[in-house]
Amino acid sequence: MGATNPSRTQHCDLLVIGSGAGGLSTAVTAKKLGLDVVVVEKDTVFGGTTAFSGGVLWIPGNPHAKAAGARDSREAAREYLRHETGAFFDEAAVEAFLDRAPEMVEFFERETAVRFVPTLYPDYHPTAPGGVDVGRSILAAPYDIRGLGADMARLRPPLQTITFIGMMFNSSNADLKHFFNATKSFTSFAYVVRRLAKHLKELALYRRGVNVTSGNALAARLAKSALDLGIPIHTGTPARELLLEGGRVVGARVSGPDGEREIRARRGVVLASGGFSHDVERIRQAYAHLRRGGEHLSPVPASNTGDGARMAEQAGGTVPIRYPQPAAWMPVSRVPLGDGRVGVFPHLLDRYKPGIIGVTRRGLRFCNESESYHDVGAAMVEACKGERETAMWLVCDHATLRKYGLGYVKPAPMPLGRFLRNGYLVKGRSLAELAQRAGIDAAGLERTVRDYNPGAARGVDEQFGRGSTSFNRYLADPARQPNPCVAPIGEGPYYALKVVMGDLGTFDGIRTDVAGRVLDGQGGALEGLYAVGNDRASVMGGNYPGAGITLGPIMTFGYLTARHIAGVESLQAPAAKELRHAA
């Protein structure tokens, strides 16, 4: 692809394109195994989608669960994955994941700055065969990003809409409970005051919070590990095209602050660019609700435009859309931030709270609102199949709104006025008035509430069984009994908030073998080209079995791919015949 200019050429063993958990876990492992590694990142900040995430990893048999005496088995986890992935069960990949994921955790905690803590998250479908109520999900430990030194400024900030004046909350339920109870408990009030005081001091000194949690902590810890090992992370340096010689990928042409140059990699190139959530043409083909028209708002970084998929295809790889659910769905709302700016709010918590229901434009409930974001998103797509727009409205009464908040609207004592003025929140004195103002069928909404309330007053969701699993109840309100997820819609005024479809990343992606080698249409491995993270098709087959099913496999397969590239791991591709059958 053109003559090489020696003065504009850099050499290394391995080039990694992308700086999220997939790229950095691969880079760190490879460096630990003696390879000379370079990381390039399109954005001006590192951390990728990981920095926006909850920072949870789903790792059956993880050392933290074992230390806590959690009751689980590899056989149960395998049964659960077989049930969850259905027709897309990839035996070789699942076996590799279950065998090596706990080892990956031990490696990173032993050899790097990465640390985890246990969580109480149930599997998302704990009553399914092999499901468990606790033990498989772990969380990145909080981190003081001053440990990054001057590179602290290059860490991607957390998603603005899920922070409070820039302050992060832990993904664990315990942290948020104090904020919800601050006006009712002196202990919680004191906790919140301490957190706020510390955060305001950090803002004054550093113009950002320095004690980060969740995915921001994981991204920071991985970056710290890479930088301490001497791995350069070149931000603001997009990869433009792969370099091929004799049918082998030998590097990439990149452009950076100093212009264009070639980075030639003796062992190969790893694609870790974050998937194709913002590749407008590809998602229009992949997402059913976009094929029929409608809105999609993804909160993942805008730079996730499918660069890895495009480069893989140019080299002869394939990116088939196979999964019925090609992305990790996330119901989101559009938040007016002022000055023409718009934020995307992921509805991670409000749907679980008692007294909040979700309805379609016809005013009808269509699912158990306390299931996972992915399950609710899939139900939205199905419920709106005959309509141009895929949307739901979260509805509640005044007391519920002030107690729990709704979307970007915070609980009391935070004011509501600006959200009513900018149209984010709709208010009505009666359900009929609310429906008319929100564009919902009034008769349908009134009938839905009338049918829902008698059972809800007894703590029963007669239509969808809300609150029937440990996962439903995990993010609800334990003070509400007998069912922490269910309460009737009470006296007005009433509120509605429009929710549309978004995603947390793509599930479909580049076809690879277990080792991460990119495969061509006949199932053969392309020499020198690998894919990890959301660039690689998910082992979960388009389903979402539990908290951390994205990051858990991402770091595990990043670890295994690096070991394969370094020559210490032999992971074979499945037979081409099997690949053609699966496709």
SS3 512: strand
Within 56-170, residue ranges assigned H as helices are 63-67, 74-85, 91-111
Kindly state the DSSP code that residue 125 receives in the 8-state scheme: S
Instruction: State mean pLDDT over 538-548.
Output: 97
Q: Is the pLDDT of residue 574 over 60?
A: no
- Residue 564 exposed, middle or buried by CB count within 10 Å (0-12, 13-18, 19+): buried
Measured from the Cβ of residue 178, the count of other Cβ atoms closer than 10 Å reads 18
Structural domain total, the chain = 1
Q: Is the pTM for the entire model greater than 0.85? A: yes
Q: Is the pLDDT of residue 202 over 90?
A: no
Does any domain span residue 8?
no
Q: Is the pLDDT of residue 367 over 50?
A: yes
pLDDT for residue 210: 87
CA angle, 525 then 527 then 533, to 5°: 70
155-172 pLDDT tens trace: 999 887 766 655 556 555
Domain enclosing residue 435, as ranges: 329-503
Does any domain span residue 481?
yes
Report which listed range, 7-11, 179-183, 533-537, is most confident: 533-537
Lowest mean pLDDT among 1-5, 306-310, 401-405, 473-477: 1-5
- Residues 424 and 431: their CA atoms lie apart, in Å, by 18
Does any domain span residue 439?
yes
CATH code of the domain covering residue 392: 3.90.700.10
Q: Is the pLDDT of residue 72 over 90?
A: yes
- Residues 512 and 524: their CA atoms lie apart, in Å, by 9
Which of 485, 96, 452, 502 lies closest to 283 in space, CA to CA? 502
5-20 pLDDT tens trace: 555 899 999 999 999 9
Does any domain span residue 427?
yes
Which of 380, 229, 351, 82 lies closest to 221 in space, CA to CA? 229
What DSSP letter does each residue of 528-579 carry, written as one string? EEEE-GGGBPPTTTT---BTTTTHHHHHHHHHHHHHHHTTS---PPPPHHHH
User: Sorting pLDDT into bands at 50, 70 and 90, what band is 578?
Assistant: very low
Q: Is the pLDDT of residue 576 over 50?
A: no
- Residues 430 and 434: their CA atoms lie apart, in Å, by 6
Q: Is the pLDDT of residue 582 over 70?
A: no
pLDDT for residue 179: 64
**What DSSP element (H or E) covers 21?**
helix 21-32
What DSSP letter does each residue of 27-55 carry, written as one string? HHHHHHTT--EEEE-SSSSB-GGGGGS--
pLDDT for residue 225: 98
Which of 315, 187, 164, 171 lies closest to 242 in space, CA to CA? 315
Does any domain span residue 172?
no
Does any domain span residue 480?
yes
In percent, the amount of the chain with pLDDT more than 90 equals 84
Q: Is the pLDDT of residue 134 over 70?
A: yes
Does any domain span residue 579?
no
Q: How distant, in Å, are the alpha carbons of 183, 229, 352 from that of 474?
A: 22, 39, 8
Does any domain span residue 460?
yes
